[in-house]
Amino acid sequence: MRNSIPTWVALRKIGKSKIVGMTIFIPFFGYMILFNDQFVHLFSLSKELFLDDYSSNTSVALDFAKEGKNRLFYFYFGFTFLGIASLIYKLSCPSLINDYGSDRDFIKEELPLITIKRGEEIIQYLSEKKASSSQEIENIKWKLKNSNEINNNIDLMSIYWGYENTTKISARMASALLYLFGFSILMIPAIAMFIDVSTVFFN
């Protein structure tokens, strides 16, 4: 179960997207979309595409209007879920993972800057969080004190990045599920529109 939850790096691929990030505002201002007739019209399918005599058929016109509103609701709820997921990501994702997409990038950028004091702070942090076995932490601590080999710092930074990547299980699960719900809901009107257009085209 624990391993099936997406890591922060996996969520980062969506969370760092500027387009998806803009959906954060939907939960707060989405009502403006629902009560805007222009948006309802925008999400309505063209009547001329499907019917030749739509102008003389009131019931058909009402059906199209209702379909447009339903499609708008799908988009509203889909983007709302994405917005909430993005908000959770922004608030919960460790800055280390948000800044660096892999441990390799992190080590490449930070290794030249790390000091003995910084190394000791990371060791203390990992020990408090029980991020790794106490024996492994003690080995790295001993090596840092008795050796200046660069590989010791690399091992420490790798453990540090790996731990941060799997923190906050509840937040990762909530964000992943909301992203899944959001994209799934957005697929409903897209698939429905594809079926409608394909039906008209092939008939």
**For the segment 110-169, what is each residue's pLDDT rounded down to a tens digit?**
888 877 788 778 888 887 777 665 566 666 665 555 555 555 678 788 888 888 999 999
Does 10 score more than 90 pLDDT? yes
Residue 114 in tokens: 């790390």
Scanning the structure block, which residue is given the tokens 């702070």? 121
Closest CA to 11 of 134, 182, 191: 182
Scanning the structure block, which residue is given the tokens 């691929």? 13
Of 138 and 176, the structure prediction assigns the larger pLDDT to 176
Could you tell me the pLDDT band of residue 39, with boundaries at 50, 70 and 90? low
Closest CA to 90 of 6, 162, 11: 11
> Per residue in 139-159, is it b (16+ CB within 10 Å) or e — as a string?
ebbebbeeeeeeebbebbbeb
For the ranges 39-53, 118-132, 164-178, the maximum mean pLDDT occurs at 164-178
pTM above 0.85, yes or no: no
Does 68 score more than 70 pLDDT? no
Closest CA to 11 of 186, 182, 171, 188: 171
